[in-house]
Every structure is written in structure tokens, then in C-alpha cells.
């Protein structure tokens, strides 16, 4: 399977689900202070919801540029900084959804083979703390970017649930509904 065919649909459908979770939060709690909800955390030493949303977008965008062999644009650095500083400035639902929509647009505008490269190609992935992971493109896609993306996505889901937003499995996998065999849908 190509990296493009694996990553682009995965990121796109899950970012659309994340956007749906925010919509559901707004509809269930129309008078909620969005800054308060976006500042919610699972634990004091974890990033807030606003950061989890932005970092999910960062993972998807970073993978695009890294696998294309392109330098990261300034906008990606701004998104990282926005996420790191979200504890002080969580932003609003429209701002969070705009970041999701920007990321989806980037993904949807890729060519069908944009991220495809030799799975054995070396990728050096440096973290802000100076640690460097030496990976192949396949290891990067499988072991780093998908894992990090889902970490931030699931943390966002867990924060929303812990704050009382009524989300369930159907909200997590809305992209699966087109695959349901009609004669297997339970009645009622």
C-alpha cells in the first residue's frame, strides 16, 4: 500500500470526526465558554484540548512535508507554537475548526502519489528536546506519525467525554457507515 493511500484518508476521515466532536460539543452546550472547554485537560501535566487539536493537525501536516521531502513551511511552525501556547491562549471553536479545515484542505489537494517514496528511505526525525530517531519512511509512517496523530486525537476525544460531551463509538467512526451491509442494521 502507498503512504498516500494509507495516510491521507486516515488523517482526513479522523480530522472530520474531530470537527464533528466539536460541533457536537457546541450543540450540546450552546452557552458553553469555548475557551473554558478548550482549556480542559485530563491531567495537570498534560496539554489542554486546544493543543491536542492543533497537534493532531501538526502530525498530519508534518507527515505530508516530511514524506514529500520538503522543508516545513512557516505556517507549520506557527501551528506548533500555537499548540504549545494554547494553555495561555486556547482560542475559540471557530479557530480550532479552521485549523482542522486547513489541514484537511492540504490533504485533499495532494496528488494521488504525493507521499509515496521508497519505504526504506532514511528519515531522521528530530524532537525539540534534541533526541533523534533514525527511521525508514515505512517506520516513520507506521510507528511515529500514525501513533502520534492518534494519541492527540484520542486525548481530544477523552477530554471532551470527561467534560460531559456525549460522544460514542459512532462519533469516532462515522466514516464507516457507508460500509454497513443494509440487512445487518439492528431495528430500533
pLDDT of residue 87: 84
pTM reported for the whole predicted model: 0.94
pLDDT of residue 10: 97
Above 90 in pLDDT, residue 86?
no
Average pLDDT, the chain: 94
Domains of the chain plus CATH, in order, are 3-184 (1.20.120.450)
pLDDT in tens, 35-69: 899 999 999 999 999 999 999 999 999 999 999 99
Residue 37, CA distances (Å) to 16, 26, 56, 166, 173 in order: 19, 10, 17, 14, 23
Amino acid at each position: 500500500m502507498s503512504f498516500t493511500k494509507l495516510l491521507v484518508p486516515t488523517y482526513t476521515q479522523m480530522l472530520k470526526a474531530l470537527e464533528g466532536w466539536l460541533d457536537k460539543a457546541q450543540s450540546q452546550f450552546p452557552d458553553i465558554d469555548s475557551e473554558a472547554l478548550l482549556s480542559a485537560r485530563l491531567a495537570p501535566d498534560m496539554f489542554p484540548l486546544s493543543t491536542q487539536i492543533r497537534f493532531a493537525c501538526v502530525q498530519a501536516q508534518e507527515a505530508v512535508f516530511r514524506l514529500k521531502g520538503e522543508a516545513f513551511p512557516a505556517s507549520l511552525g506557527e501551528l506548533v507554537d500555537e499548540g504549545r501556547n494554547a494553555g495561555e491562549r486556547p482560542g475559540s471553536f471557530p479557530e480550532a475548526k479552521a485549523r482542522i479545515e486547513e489541514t484537511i484542505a492540504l490533504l485533499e489537494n495532494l496528488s494521488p502519489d504525493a507521499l509515496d517514496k521508497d519505504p526504506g528511505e532514511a528519515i531522521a526525525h528530530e524532537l525539540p528536546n534534541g533526541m533523534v530517531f533514525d527511521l525508514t519512511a515505512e517506520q516513520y509512517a507506521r510507528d511515529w506519525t500514525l501513533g502520534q496523530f492518534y494519541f492527540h486525537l484520542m486525548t481530544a476525544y477523552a477530554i471532551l467525554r470527561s467534560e460531559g460531551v456525549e460522544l460514542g463509538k459512532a462519533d469516532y467512526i462515522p466514516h464507516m457507515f457507508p460500509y454497513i451491509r443494509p440487512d445487518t442494521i439492528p431495528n430500533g
